[in-house]
């Protein structure tokens, strides 16, 4: 899987956090909220993937609903200078895109994505503002390996990630002009292979129109209190996931275990380190290569074990983590020594979270595990 390498596949947790944040805008007593809707046509600068050269131009656009958070009293929103929570619908017509070595037409079909995003203000002047908007969600690709031997994509339903940089300029009392660049990524995290994935970088020029002002009168005192968090804590987690068998709809299951230590710098930033162990329900057998081969994740043993460290970003109850690790034991077919993990966890209660975690080797996804994590 090619990446703009971050947790680009855990949409269900991100949407959960997104809905909670949106709902809290009413509960926290925001005095006035001026939401807006944006439409931005797009044309691609490049369409690219790992190991394969593509050419052609993709056309499309985005329809975005911005839920204003400027008046929010949530600590992390204020610390990160969050402008809005965004719900993004993205469409791309990719009928013009072909693979250079095999330029057959209509290899990819149309793409659709529904993405939850965070819209941060980087720089603001009297009439203009520079915005950064990362987001995660779900996407649909029209063609796959199983429909027309599209060797880049193994499933119609994919995880998608998007990051956009836009310059917003006020051109009227309630109207803004926006020009920007973005990168959109599709892949299924190895749930079904082949899974090289696709990336589309685009330029856009659009317009945003503010909607009516909604007033809410509630007590906001509780939201002015400092965020509560533990400076030191320990996590123990378990997850289970499936990696696809190449050019097949079958899958090979794995179970991931984790134990680690967390240190919180403040309400938003933290650092964690821990031990990862992965159990293979099916190991690599050279006599059954087609059924057991897992590329860089192929193992001759049932267990692989490593240690990893990395930063955490906390958005209220929703945590985003990424770590770089080194194997203590991995009897690998390809002599792999290091790995990455990235993921999300959402705190259901003070000591219990649901989690989604992706394991990677270099830029190639191994599998995504879903499970629980206990924090003490």
pLDDT per residue over 161-211, tens digit each? Answer: 999 999 999 999 999 999 999 999 988 888 888 888 889 999 999 999 999
Instruction: Give the whole-number percent of the chain exceeding pLDDT 70.
Output: 87
pLDDT of residue 42: 98
Q: pLDDT band at residue 274, thresholds of 50, 70 and 90?
A: very high
The residue ranking higher by pLDDT, 30 or 369, is 369
Region 222-244: what's the mean pLDDT?
A: 81
Contact 227, 75 (CB under 8 A): yes
Among residues 334, 310, 336, which one has the least CA distance to residue 321? Answer: 310
Q: Rounded to the nearest 10 degrees, how much is the dihedral formed by the CA atoms of 9, 53, 333, 311?
A: -40
Residues of the chain with CATH 2.40.160.20: 29-210, 226-375
DSSP character string of 255-283: EEEEEEEEEESSSSEEEEEEEEEEEESS-
The residue ranking higher by pLDDT, 80 or 299, is 299
pLDDT of residue 15: 53
pLDDT of residue 235: 96
What is the rounded end-to-end Cα distance, in angstroms, of the chain?
Answer: 35
Mean pLDDT of the chain: 87
pLDDT of residue 114: 96
Contact 372, 353 (CB under 8 A): yes
Please give the C-alpha separations between residue 49 and each of 42, 138, 139, 195, 202, in angstroms, as whole numbers.
Answer: 20, 19, 17, 10, 15
The residue ranking higher by pLDDT, 216 or 277, is 277
**What CATH number labels 29-210?**
2.40.160.20
Q: Could you read off the pLDDT of 281-331 as tens digits, one per residue? A: 999 999 999 999 999 999 999 999 999 999 999 998 999 999 999 999 999
Q: For the whole model, what pTM was predicted?
A: 0.83
Region 25-37: what's the mean pLDDT?
A: 64
Q: pLDDT band at residue 214, thresholds of 50, 70 and 90?
A: low
Checking if the pLDDT of 142 tops 50, the result is yes
**What CATH number labels 226-375?**
2.40.160.20
Radius of gyration from C-alpha coordinates of the chain: 22
Q: pLDDT band at residue 227, thresholds of 50, 70 and 90?
A: low
Q: pLDDT band at residue 22, thresholds of 50, 70 and 90?
A: low
The one-character DSSP state at 286 is G
pLDDT of residue 224: 47
């Amino acid at each position: 899987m090619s990446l703009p390498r971050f947790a680009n596949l855990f949409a269900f947790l991100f949407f959960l956090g997104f809905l909670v944040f949106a709902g809290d805008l009413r509960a926290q007593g925001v005095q006035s909220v001026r939401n807006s809707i944006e439409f931005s046509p797009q044309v691609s600068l490049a369409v690219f993937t790992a190991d394969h050269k593509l050419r052609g131009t993709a056309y499309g656009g985005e329809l975005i609903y911005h839920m204003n958070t400027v008046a929010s009293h949530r600590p992390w929103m204020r610390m990160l200078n969050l402008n809005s929570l965004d719900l993004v619908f993205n469409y791309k017509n990719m009928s013009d895109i072909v693979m250079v070595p095999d330029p057959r037409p209509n290899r990819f079909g149309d793409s659709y994505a529904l993405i939850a995003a965070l819209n941060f203000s980087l720089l603001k002047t009297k009439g203009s503002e520079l915005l950064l908007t990362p987001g995660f969600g779900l996407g649909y690709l029209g063609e796959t390996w199983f429909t027309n031997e599209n060797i880049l994509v193994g499933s119609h339903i994919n995880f998608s990630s998007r990051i956009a940089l836009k310059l917003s300029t006020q051109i009227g009392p309630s109207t803004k002009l926006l020009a920007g660049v973005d990168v959109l990524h599709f892949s299924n995290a190895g749930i079904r292979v082949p899974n090289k994935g696709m990336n589309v970088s685009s330029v856009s020029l659009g317009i945003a129109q503010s909607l009516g002002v909604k007033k809410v009168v509630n007590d906001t005192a509780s939201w002015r209190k400092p965020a509560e968090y533990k400076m030191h804590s320990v996590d123990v987690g378990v997850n289970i996931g499936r990696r696809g068998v190449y050019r097949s709809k079958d899958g090979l299951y794995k179970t991931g275990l984790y134990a680690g230590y967390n240190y919180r710098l403040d309400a938003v930033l933290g650092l964690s380190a821990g031990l990862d162990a992965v159990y293979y329900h099916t190991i690599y057998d050279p006599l059954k290569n087609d059924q057991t081969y897992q590329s860089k994740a192929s193992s001759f043993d049932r267990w692989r074990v490593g240690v990893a460290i990395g930063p955490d970003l906390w958005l209220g109850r929703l945590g985003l983590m990424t770590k770089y690790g080194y194997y203590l034991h991995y009897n690998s077919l390809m002599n792999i020594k290091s790995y990455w993990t990235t993921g999300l966890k959402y705190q259901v209660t003070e000591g219990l979270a649901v989690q989604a975690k992706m394991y990677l080797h270099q830029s190639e996804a191994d599998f995504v595990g879903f499970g629980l994590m206990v924090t003490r």
